[in-house]
Structure 1
């Protein structure tokens, strides 16, 4: 008696094929962005480097300043850094000179300050000095609200440069297109209450990547793969702005 050969493909094989397809599509997309970047006038005029001047990545808070805190104790400063580090790596891969205000869990206040208030004021002033010495800045933060239903990234832009709004719009479109298709949040101009945005003289945006107060979004923000995806979306937004 002949054995019947099933024509069904095992589920595991289907998943592997889908994963391979996603990797191929991602590689093609990155390649297209890289070709556009290399061919852009900004890159050509910079003599083979991706624009002139340093791009600053600013993971908000750090050290004694934890920023917002989720119900489960997750601190904003840690999520900020977890997104900022791969973002910096991606931009370096594309040829950008990148600096970070911090790459560990630390404050960048001047030494010898005794009170928390003095340390926070010094930290912000030192960040602003780095911002104004850079070509543009992307500051990474997380949102929080008393009502837990709110979710989605929101982007604020600085008032000291018209380019800030253009950069913010480009990053917003990338985040919505690649990661949050249902996000309808509008761009907002930073008020005087947001120290860096109000006082920066160079282009700057602040990306609130999500809400720590929303349980479902918090789980995403804690997921390393989602952190990488958010960093990738922001990087793509910058590439689009540059080209």
Structure 2
């Protein structure tokens, strides 16, 4: 990644490159203008083929991707660009449908927004996602120890995950969420703590995002491995014999 902001105050840090993919020209322009005003370098695409071509040619640091596109849809765009190289994707959908959201997360999207959205929320999600990717790179360089529990192995240094010996692909966000849970197997992690640690949010506005990512992680590693503690949060593995540690 080339950075998380524009060149300000004499800093030599280059701006992060954002690809905005949206077929509505008005929304596309509004997103691009706001992100540029926030210091990002922005490229625009308006259909599926154009999005894949722009990713191949421009190597963006992050993609803001609408699902409903001409040519082929955003889900197919996500599949193709993730097959080429991993890139963070903020998916945008007009359909507040859990199935669509889970499919999007399943093909490699890291986060999602539903229309209508506020521009400041888009900016906040973009910045948070870029921070997570940068933090993941730092942790990998730091040589964090691997974890193995209940048939799941997770290695922060390589960002690799196996389930019962079989490699499983997780998005950066899914990896960070699983890492936060597996580091303390059996211990209940509160929702607000997970939102703060994984997403960098200080409020509960991302509760639906957390729940969707939990469902996606469960689908990939086995639903029985992540336990819900209603009204509190989530835990990896069964409840400790000594009782709830939340």
Tell whether the structures are fold-level matches, with TM greater than 0.5: no
Structure with the largest fraction of strand: 2
What range is the shorter-chain TM-score in? Answer: 0.3 to 0.5
Largest Rg, 1 or 2: 1
Q: Structure 2-normalised TM-score?
A: 0.32
Structure with the largest fraction of helix: 1
